[in-house]
Chain A
Amino acid sequence: MYEFDYHRASSVADAAGALGKADDGSLIAGGQTLLPTMKMRLASPSDLVDIGFLEELKGISVEGGGVKIGAATTHAEVAGSSDVASNIPALAALAGGIGDPHVRHMGTIGGSVANNDPAADYPAACLALGATINTDKRSIAADDFFTGLFETALQEGEIITSVTFPGADKAAYMKFANPASRYAMVGVFVAQTGDGVRVAVTGAGEDGVFRVADMESALGGDFSSGAISGVSVSSDGLASDIHAGSEYRAHLIGVMARRAVDAANG
């Protein structure tokens, strides 16, 4: 890791100020993605501004039938929250399946969403549930937030403060985890709400998380796994790497989607 200066922010405003003054500053929350990246020298910020300790970014509150989760809330806190479990159990289960217990103790939802790793779990939940990503400047719909591989709508220096998830009538997430890393090789989040059905896929897309319109319309008419057994997903635009080819990923999307619908109905 290259040298850098470290600032522990005292507030979101203080963090924004410190970032603004830095040459090439970066926020750090849980550090579970940034520190490994810096060790590999794929990132070399001049300054780290630590927002992981800010109470104003922590905590979970119930809003309508959904939840609002502070950006610095850890995966373990989301997984263990009775408010999340009772309002959106699929979201609590998703958080409990991220990485391993040690990663879940430190990693945060804000860091995960900001990073938009193509194999991360939270982006699928955000997209399928129609979440809103709130920052120190504005609120961004999930549909507009995830713009590509490790790319988001966040501007330079913009800080995520919380993520709001509306509730769903039925929802479930099924992940085919890479056995070594636990990241999703394919993960499918299915949600049924008054507005219809949304199906979001992570782990598979070359450009990150995406929705499957054919499955959404089939499930809109009949929310059963049988309704999508005939829907095939094209392998065009899907990732191919040492873990899985794009054809296999396309197949897994169908399998995981059907399992998710069964689980949501379960």
Chain B
Amino acid sequence: MPTVSMTVNGKSVSGDVSANTLLVDFLRETLGMTGTHVGCDTSQCGACVVHVEGKAAKSCTRLAVQCEGAAVTTIEGLASGGDLHPMQEAFRDNHGLQCGFCTPGMIMAGVDLANRRGNKLDEDTIRNELDGNICRCTGYHNIVKAIAAGAAAMDK
């Protein structure tokens, strides 16, 4: 079995995994970090979105061995101590979640969007950029509001 080593949320980690282990399974099963969710396992829903080398990616569509040497950020890596990340805070303030299943992926997608497109995001941009994230509960309105507010708060 290959040994994979990477940096997850700033910490060096490694594990012995078979080559067909997905990044999301490495995170959840090998490392026990269950914040990253699997909604579909068919690359569609975005519940599994993490950042690989600073870019949003579906961790169900990436092999752990492809992340050898990479820096990965998951939802667990956003808060600092007891302080939520501004995007997490914005989801809470704007009621951007109901069951919460899609939320880790939504928040990681929202942070990535703000990193790429800046802190002033209009509704159209947010809706278009959420093409890869599906929510079965909220109807999206509050997610869109939360991402706009979170992106603005990330500026501060």
A residues lining the B interface (CB < 8 Å)? 1-6, 8, 28, 31-32, 35-36, 38-40, 48, 50, 52, 76, 99-103, 105-106, 180-182
Q: Say yes or no for B28: interface residue by CB 8 A criterion.
A: no
Are the C-beta atoms of B43 and A103 separated by less than 8 Å?
yes
B residues lining the A interface (CB < 8 Å)? 2, 18-20, 22, 41-44, 46, 49, 52, 55-58, 61-63, 65-66, 68, 109, 112-113, 116, 129, 131-133
- Report if A106-B109 is in contact (Cβ < 8 Å); known contacts: A36-B42, A100-B131, A101-B131: no
**Which residues of B lie under 8 Å from residue A103 when comparing CB positions?**
43, 58, 61, 132
**Which residues of B lie under 8 Å from residue A50 when comparing CB positions?**
66
B62 to chain A, nearest CB (A): 7
The 5 closest A-B pairs by CB, nearest first: A100-B132, A100-B131, A6-B19, A105-B55, A1-B20
- Report if A39-B41 is in contact (Cβ < 8 Å); known contacts: A1-B20, A99-B131, A101-B129: yes
Are the C-beta atoms of B113 and A35 separated by less than 8 Å?
no
- What is the chain A residue whose CB lies nearest that of B130? A100
A48 CA to B43 CA, complexed, in Å: 19
Are the C-beta atoms of B61 and A106 separated by less than 8 Å?
yes
Please pick, from A6, A39, A106, the residue contacting B2 in the complex, using a CB distance under 8 A.
Answer: A6
A195 CA to B22 CA, complexed, in Å: 48
Are the C-beta atoms of B18 and A3 separated by less than 8 Å?
yes
**Which residues of B lie under 8 Å from residue A5 when comparing CB positions?**
19
Are the C-beta atoms of A4 and B58 separated by less than 8 Å?
no
**Which residues of A lie under 8 Å from residue B44 when comparing CB positions?**
180-181
Please pick, from B46, B62, B113, B131, the residue contacting A106 in the complex, using a CB distance under 8 A.
Answer: B62
**Which residues of A lie under 8 Å from residue B52 when comparing CB positions?**
105
- Report if A102-B68 is in contact (Cβ < 8 Å); known contacts: A6-B2, A35-B63: no
- What is the chain B residue whose CB lies nearest that of A47? B19
- Report if A102-B46 is in contact (Cβ < 8 Å); known contacts: A31-B66, A35-B63: yes
**Which residues of B lie under 8 Å from residue A39 when comparing CB positions?**
41-42
Are the C-beta atoms of A101 and B66 separated by less than 8 Å?
no
- Report if A4-B66 is in contact (Cβ < 8 Å); known contacts: A102-B46, A102-B132: no
Are the C-beta atoms of B19 and A3 separated by less than 8 Å?
yes
**Which residues of A lie under 8 Å from residue B22 when comparing CB positions?**
35
Additional A-B contacts beyond A31-B63, A106-B61 (8; CB < 8 A): A3-B20, A32-B43, A36-B43, A100-B132, A102-B109, A105-B52, A105-B56, A182-B131
* Cross-chain pairs A/B with CB under 8 angstroms, 9 sampled: A4-B19, A6-B2, A6-B65, A32-B43, A76-B55, A101-B112, A101-B116, A105-B52, A106-B62
**Which residues of A lie under 8 Å from residue B57 when comparing CB positions?**
102, 105-106
Are the C-beta atoms of A8 and B109 separated by less than 8 Å?
no
**Which residues of A lie under 8 Å from residue B62 when comparing CB positions?**
31, 35, 106
